[in-house]
């Protein structure tokens, strides 16, 4: 699954650390999600979408390989 977290952070002008604090996870978790090494839980994906005020589907995009 691809994501636009890095782009969304750039638009808001925030660091990984600031996003992590806002949604109560570690900076390493944000880094892993941005690097496509970790797929967030539904709850975490919804928290991120709410934070960026965007639909989940605009932040997390299914790859063809995801099914």
The predicted structure's pLDDT at residue 31: 98
Q: How far apart are CA 8 and CA 67, in angstroms?
A: 25
Q: What pTM did the predictor assign?
A: 0.90
Domains held by the chain: number: 1
The predicted structure's pLDDT at residue 52: 98
Determine the structural domain holding residue 42 and report its residue range. 2-58
- Cβ neighbours of residue 21 under 8 Å, at least 6 residues apart? none
The predicted structure's pLDDT at residue 5: 97
The predicted structure's pLDDT at residue 60: 96
CB neighbour class for 12 (10 Å; exposed up to 12, middle 13-18, buried from 19): middle
Which ranges of the chain have pLDDT less than 50?
none
The predicted structure's pLDDT at residue 20: 98
The predicted structure's pLDDT at residue 67: 65
The CATH number for 13's domain is 1.10.260.40
Would residue 46 count as lying in a domain? yes
């Amino acid at each position: 699954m691809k994501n636009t977290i890095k782009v969304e952070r750039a638009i808001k002008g925030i660091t990984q650390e600031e996003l992590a604090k806002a949604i109560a996870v570690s900076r390493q978790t944000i880094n892993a999600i941005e690097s496509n090494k970790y797929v967030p839980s539904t709850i975490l994906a919804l928290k991120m979408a709410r934070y960026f005020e965007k639909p989940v589907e605009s932040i997390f995009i299914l790859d063809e390989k995801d099914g």
